[in-house]
């Protein structure tokens, strides 16, 4: 596998991981007993830390990408393994 392919796959895993990591550790102003700004949504985060989200996404994406590349190299799960319905009947059998 080319290094550019690995980089592209890592980028896809990173974006997915960033969206998965967004809600973890976030609390609203009511949960933190912080005063809200007038007109603020009730669900607005009171402790959003984008650096922590980036760090978590980077670590998770590195792990997922490493597993993906290892599967590509060693062939643990292949496309044929994902065919749960079996082979379709051929035209001669019908």
* Tens of pLDDT, residues 70-89: 999 999 988 888 888 877 77
Tell me, yes or no, whether 63 lies in a domain: yes
Between these two residues, 86 and 60, which has the higher pLDDT value?
Answer: 60
Cβ 64 vs Cβ 17: under 8 Å: yes
Q: Which domain holds residue 47?
A: 3-78
Tell me, yes or no, whether 35 lies in a domain: yes
Tell me, yes or no, whether 88 lies in a domain: no
Dihedrals φ, ψ of 47, to 5°? -135, 40
Q: Is 1 in a helix, a strand, or coil? A: coil
Q: Is the pTM of this model over 0.85?
A: no
Cβ 7 vs Cβ 66: under 8 Å: no
**How many domains would you assign to the chain?**
1
The residue behind tokens 């290892």 is 70
56-72 average pLDDT score: 96
């Amino acid at each position: 596998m080319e290094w550019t392919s690995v980089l592209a796959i890592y980028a896809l895993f990173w974006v997915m991981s960033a969206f998965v990591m967004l809600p973890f550790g976030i609390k609203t102003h009511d949960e933190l007993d912080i005063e809200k700004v007038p007109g603020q949504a009730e669900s607005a985060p009171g402790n959003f830390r984008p650096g922590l989200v980036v760090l978590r996404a980077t670590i998770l994406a590195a792990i997922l990408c490493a597993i993906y590349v290892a599967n590509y190299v060693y062939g643990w799960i292949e496309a044929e393994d994902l065919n749960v319905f079996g082979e379709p009947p051929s035209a001669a059998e019908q």
